[in-house]
Structure 1
Amino acid sequence: MTEPERSFVQDPGPDGSCALLAWAEDKLGHRFADRTLLEEALTHRSLGSPNYERLEFLGDRLLGAIAALHLFRKFRDDDEGGLTRRYHQLVSGQTCAAIAREIGVHRHLRLNQQARADGAADSDNILGDVLEALIGALWLDGGPDITKAFIHRAFESRLGTAPAAAKHPKSQLQEWALARGLRPPAYELVSRSGPHHSPRFHVRLALDGFEPVVSSGSSKQEAETEAARRALARVWDAA
């Protein structure tokens, strides 16, 4: 079997590896001793293994722990629900992808020609995953202090934003689905019960990857809102 064609999107120069190390030092705040870790974090699965997926697994957990600790210390008046909403907004794939673009990850992403033609270098899902992989690589090569410093610096501008609770549950759920390339949540009125002066509306919510949610309310809008709230609790628990 022939090796997949490699197409490296990175700064040209007499020594591409030196350009990559210089970029990492400038944007990640660390000069990698083990260059292969950095390259692995930037390698898409279209080039086979090793690729960023194992480092993404590590970086996702590290980002979660560091972000949770920071939020716990910073927002001392928030209850568990408030901290949870801030947390999921802060470490969302959409946020990670935005930061990846800001530091130029897309210019250094390693992928084959077909994946590049398919738009992988500009995919929110992939860019977010690669940012997490870079966090994992930073931890392994530079240690906890370097990793925490990068996360605090990169996510700093997002820390003061209003918690996701300020948004309507239906809007939150739709943004969550779209950020992951899923179809928008679908609401269906299943039935109406009760007397005319005090009706109950029963709504079914379908969301890709989860069991349907059925909720009720005194109006169709109220039932849909409650269904979205329950669905959000499920996706947060599954994160």
Structure 2
Amino acid sequence: MNDESPDIKTSSIPDGASPDAPPAKPAVKKRRSKASVAKAEAAAIEARVGYTFGDPALLTTALTHVSALKTARRRGDSYQRLEFLGDHVLGLIVSDMLYRTYPKANEGELSKRLADLVRKETCADVAKSLGLLEGIKLGQVGATADARLRTSVIGDICEAVIGAIFLDGGYPAAEQFVQRNWEERMRTLKRPSRDPKTVLQEWAQGRGLPSPVYREVERTGPHHDPVFRIAVDVPGLAPAEGVGSNKRAAEKLAASAMIAREGVK
């Protein structure tokens, strides 16, 4: 008779566990909730913007397009009201920057520089450089904001972000944001060309002549899309003409034509 005991296979059951208990299931990674994903996306935008919001809802509203609202009656939950505020905050800050940077510039030059720096194309360029388009909430999926939104709307959303920063952190926070993103643009902007009407008037006065007079020669095209032909008269000189989609544009072209013809510098 063999007294040796048979081989017994050891069990992998953890200490303290019942041998009859079902095997443990492998750990399953939980999916990130929508709230955590949104929070991470907002944090990424804040990092690019260079400002952390005390009230994150302001940033959400600034980046929400009207098309993303469940009802059009709640337009206040979109970027539009914040854009109104941000537009004026941006204008004030850039005006202050220009006033301090160009102490010898007259009001006309400062106004032209301001207009160029706060126009929608410039604001849209800032928005794109900061990656704001990645955070814009639209009502339909399948296309990026860059492909679907007009430049003017992208510029408006950039101004809405400025408005949100102003409400959340006050003027100093908004000023820091604008200075970071507009100062280089301000300093590299070429000196704006002078208005040809102003140049022609100063030239005429310098020669002892009366101020130029502009008159409408012809208006053509449909009522909603007219074309104007304007002539400018200076006593002693042949008139010059310009054609434009509005009277002011046509007057400028007429003045430019006379300036070129008379060799005015």
Q: TM-score, normalised by structure 1?
A: 0.68
Q: Which residue of 1 aligns with 2:55?
A: 34
Structure 2 residue identity aligned to 1:16 = V
The one of 126, 146, 152 aligned to 1:99:
126
The one of 65, 70, 92 aligned to 1:44:
65
Matched, 1:143 2:170: yes
Q: Which residue of 2 aligns with 1:60?
A: 87
Give me the whole-angstrom Cα distance separating, in 1, the residues matched to 2:258 and 2:142.
Answer: 42
- Is the alpha carbon distance of 1:86 and 1:117 closer, same or farther for their aligned partners in structure 2, counting shifts above 3 Å? closer
Q: Which residue of 1 aligns with 2:240?
A: 201
Bigger radius of gyration among the two = 2
Which secondary structure state, in structure 2, belongs to the residue aligned with residue 143 of structure 1? helix
Determine if contact 2:45/2:135 at 8 Å carries over to the other structure.
no
Give me the whole-angstrom Cα distance separating, in 1, the residues matched to 2:159 and 2:171.
Answer: 14
Matches within 5 A, 1:1-239: 15-48=36-69, 49=75, 50-113=77-140, 116=143, 121-163=148-190, 165-166=192-193, 188-189=228-229, 198-207=237-246, 215=251, 221-222=256-257
Task: Report how far residue 142 of structure 1 moved.
Answer: 1.6
Determine if contact 1:52/1:133 at 8 Å carries over to the other structure.
yes
Structure 1 residue identity aligned to 2:90 = L
Determine if contact 2:244/2:250 at 8 Å carries over to the other structure.
yes
Give me the whole-angstrom Cα distance separating, in 2, the residues matched to 1:216 and 1:30.
Answer: 43
- Is the alpha carbon distance of 1:102 and 1:213 closer, same or farther for their aligned partners in structure 2, counting shifts above 3 Å? closer
Determine if contact 1:89/1:95 at 8 Å carries over to the other structure.
yes
Give me the whole-angstrom Cα distance separating, in 2, the residues matched to 1:92 and 1:61.
Answer: 12
Structure 1 residue identity aligned to 2:238 = P
Bigger Cα displacement from structure 2, 71-80 vs 157-166: 157-166
Structure 1 residue identity aligned to 2:244 = L
Q: Which residue of 2 aligns with 1:4?
A: none
Give me the whole-angstrom Cα distance separating, in 2, the residues matched to 1:129 and 1:213.
Answer: 26
The structure, 1 or 2, with the larger RCO (C-alpha pairs under 8 Å, 6+ apart) is 1
Could you say what the CA RMSD is over the residues aligned between the two structures, in angstroms? 3.6
Percent identical: 30
Give me the whole-angstrom Cα distance separating, in 1, the residues matched to 2:145 and 2:52.
Answer: 32
Q: Which 5+ residue runs of structure 1 have no aligned equivalent?
A: 1-12, 170-184, 226-239
Task: Report how far residue 125 of structure 1 moved.
Answer: 0.9
Aligned length: 194
Give me the whole-angstrom Cα distance separating, in 2, the residues matched to 1:100 and 1:202.
Answer: 40
Task: Report how far residue 192 of structure 1 moved.
Answer: 9.2
- Is the alpha carbon distance of 1:121 and 1:200 closer, same or farther for their aligned partners in structure 2, counting shifts above 3 Å? same
Structure 1 residue identity aligned to 2:46 = E
Structure 1 residue identity aligned to 2:41 = L
Give me the whole-angstrom Cα distance separating, in 2, the residues matched to 1:213 and 1:166.
Answer: 15
Which secondary structure state, in structure 2, belongs to the residue aligned with residue 66 of structure 1? helix
Could you list the structure 1 runs, at least 4 aligned residues long, displaced by more than 4 angstroms after superposition: 114-122, 185-188, 190-195, 211-214
Task: Report how far residue 119 of structure 1 moved.
Answer: 6.0
- Is the alpha carbon distance of 1:148 and 1:121 closer, same or farther for their aligned partners in structure 2, counting shifts above 3 Å? farther
